[in-house]
A and B are shown apart, each in its own frame.
Chain A
């Protein structure tokens, strides 16, 4: 049965409704179940509200009385009373009560909820869901026959259409974002339907209303297609890495293109922020796929496993760092659950000697935990003054290690000729299966770089130039040393003491191991 009935939640058109008004159907746009009778009641209520509003605004009682008003009066009323009121209500609802929806990401996996640009404040399409669904009554007003009867010219009708398109775009984008926030696998179909609608439905109106909007419209189309490609690529195991990388790159290019196409166009720049955030999310998902390559783990399973650990991303203050940090987690989890390799310096033969040497008179180690701790490693070039009478500057090469786990203090500098530099090169060239618990990275390479530069400058080194950061795991021994008077904890690395919070590091490593066991169990179930 074809019906003009709309979903009472999102206002999306419903089709193929059952004849029985009590039989529940699911909205293909927002996924809410509703009965035909409820939808009809809602429509009736909305029409009642529209009639009240029209009576207050234009002093008319509905379609019947509107037809008795001459065209000039209708045009006058539309332009002086109805349209300004509608514009004010739409702008206030969108700008004042909801915010910059164009700057909000559509792709908002729970994993990113602690990252700048993805917090509740930024993810408006999800956090302002109630207000966005409240736009439905405004939308009903914009498409009501009673209101349309006053729009006598094509310009008037276009003005109504433009306002409606703004609302439609917001509701559709929110439907997609809300569906994806509940989990990519769960919300994939709903998200796809809405993204496909976002691609096509609003563009025509936007371009007619303002040809300059064509740039933004094209960008929206690319965004929708890239997000659909991302959703499709993660639903298969193994994930389609090329499609994921391609989609992330398209989003990044589109965001950049919007900026450089016309940097004076505010809409372009504003829209580029939302697209850039989607690009970050897509890049994070692509980095997960990269980390689990060669394993039997799926991206969706990894996303689900990582989501409870999202709070660790709070230390990651740069969006650019997020894909790296998430990659590190996913890599560690994949290694722990499937035995895949990670770039680690595995030698722990130094632990006993180092802990023994750290014990003073009457002290003995009560407990020693050895954990693979992540470090950002940068090749470094720096200079320093040498000589006494004939002072001159010399350039040195080295390797800089910055702890990536809890804090980024404790930068270590290894000269290029030190044996550890070769160990690091070997670890990067040939990843190995971790034989120890693994801690998770919390700061990214950019934050690590800032820290390294600051520390090396404080040590009197000049002109510090760092290469790209790479993650390498080093065994760190956390020893509890007891004596007659009490106990103390030390953290030792193969390069000497490192500042680290033993309890946190061991706790995080245990959490990661538990998560890996859960993931491994899930994999075993799938394969069984």
Chain B
């Protein structure tokens, strides 16, 4: 009974030490980072980061290699908790020097440190590219760099996405490569399609295929739709130039063409292509359509000016009439 009681007391004492972190050996401090941080799940990863840092300080004096590993874990879990570039960069740099490290989220599964570092580096570049795509500056190059960062990990199943499932298409490095390559191509296409529809079309085709390869079917459908539009080449109804790129360089103007024009279009295939048969509108290049817009705008402005002047004249006349009516009312009241 006395022995069992001693064990209970020791167990309680150990629990207290583990709970408070006071009086722990360096190896126990490392273990505590798992029990009070990592193993409690992603919501405790920030705590785990701090606990690993404490363990690293204690390990420094007794085991330099383990201290370095603890520091790498501190950066990894801080990055997973905060997703900030600073922790991510430190994690990637430290992991490059650590030969083996625990698989994030587990105590006893081991993986190559540089591989985890490469994964975190790739994710950092992805984060950067995503921020840039919101701002619209240099996103294509950043996505391309992110895609390149996944090339050494093409057959690798990323381990950090398993813990924080905020992203999709994460089954392997190939899926990540294609998601980023698709995004790069999409941004390139958007930037180039107006100036060079052929290049724009190639980029949209690439984006569609890249999105298809990673299983992003919605994105693929969007890219295909844009590809179809950019590849469309029709003669302009006004100037007759063959123009490519619906949306950027080519528009359909409402025209209400009669059956006679549809017949003409069938008879002369080349020029007839300027008629959009479904809506009976006409294709116009952006220059001609722009000129039509400007003529229409000028005419609209002239009409607006005429209407405004007319409105002013009418308002003045109404005011004068109201004034006269007021006077007449006054005379009537005076009797």
A positions within 8 Å CB-CB of B? 88, 92, 95-96, 100, 103, 116-117, 122, 256, 259-260, 263-264, 266, 269-270, 273, 276, 317-320, 381, 383-385, 389-395, 446, 453-454, 457, 462-466
Contacts and interface: CB of A to CB of B under 8 A. Distances in A.
Given A263-B151, A465-B103, A92 B209 contact: no
B18 A463 contact: no
Contact of B106 (A266, A276, A381, A453): A381
B232 A96 contact: yes
Contact of B233 (A88, A319, A384, A395): A88
Given A96-B232, A317-B215, A318-B171, A463 B34 contact: no
B108 to A, nearest CB: 8
Determine which residue in B159, B215, B232 has the highest number of CB atoms from chain A within 10 A of its CB, and name it. Answer: B215
Contacts of A390: 15-16, 18-19
B205 A276 contact: no
B48 to A, nearest CB: 9
A318 B215 contact: yes
Interface stretch (B39-47, B57-65, B67-75, B126-134): B39-47
B107 interface: yes
Given A88-B242, A263-B147, A392-B35, A256 B154 contact: yes
Given A88-B242, A276-B213, A453-B165, A393 B34 contact: yes
B328 interface: no
B218 interface: no
Nearest to A396: B39
Nearest to A461: B41
Determine which residue in A256, A269, A391 has the highest number of CB atoms from chain B within 10 A of its CB, and name it. Answer: A269
B252 interface: no
Contacts, number: 117
Given A266-B203, A318-B215, A463 B231 contact: no
Nearest to B220: A116
B109 A263 contact: no
Contact of A117 (B16, B18, B212, B232): B212
Determine which residue in A394, A453, A465 has the highest number of CB atoms from chain B within 10 A of its CB, and name it. Answer: A465
B231 A96 contact: yes
A270 B209 contact: yes
Interface residues of B, number: 50
A269 B181 contact: yes
Interface in B186-228: 201-203, 205-206, 208-210, 212-213, 215, 217
Contacts of A320: 171
Contacts of A100: 205, 208-209
A266 B233 contact: no
A50 B109 CA distance: 71
Interface in B266-295: none
Contacts of B165: 453-454, 457
B247 to A, nearest CB: 15
B321 to A, nearest CB: 65
Contacts of A395: 39, 106-108
B177 interface: yes
B162 interface: yes
B39 A462 contact: yes
Nearest to B19: A390
B88 interface: no
A453 B161 CA distance: 11
Q: Which 6 A-B residue pairings sit nearest by Cβ, starting from the closest?
A: A393-B39, A462-B41, A463-B105, A392-B35, A383-B39, A393-B40
Contacts of B42: 462-463
12 contacts: A88-B233, A100-B205, A269-B210, A273-B212, A317-B215, A392-B35, A392-B40, A393-B34, A394-B35, A446-B171, A463-B105, A464-B162
Given A116-B217, A269-B210, A390-B19, A263 B148 contact: yes
A269 B36 contact: no
Nearest to B16: A390
Contacts of B15: 389-390
B158 to A, nearest CB: 12
A384 B39 CA distance: 7
Contacts of B209: 100, 103, 269-270, 273
Nearest to B174: A256
B176 interface: no
Contacts of B106: 381, 395, 463, 465
B251 interface: no
Interface string B175-187: 0010001000000
Contacts of A263: 144, 147-148, 151, 181
Contacts of A318: 171, 215
A462 B40 contact: yes
A266 B16 CA distance: 62
B163 interface: yes
A455 B210 CA distance: 30
A266 B206 contact: yes
Contacts of A383: 38-41, 105
Interface in B103-145: 103-109, 144
Contacts of B231: 95-96
B73 to A, nearest CB: 14
A318 B104 CA distance: 26
Determine which residue in A100, A117, A317, A391 has the highest number of CB atoms from chain B within 10 A of its CB, and name it. Answer: A100
A273 B206 CA distance: 9
B162 A453 contact: yes
Nearest to A321: B171
Determine which residue in A319, A393, A457, A465 has the highest number of CB atoms from chain B within 10 A of its CB, and name it. Answer: A393
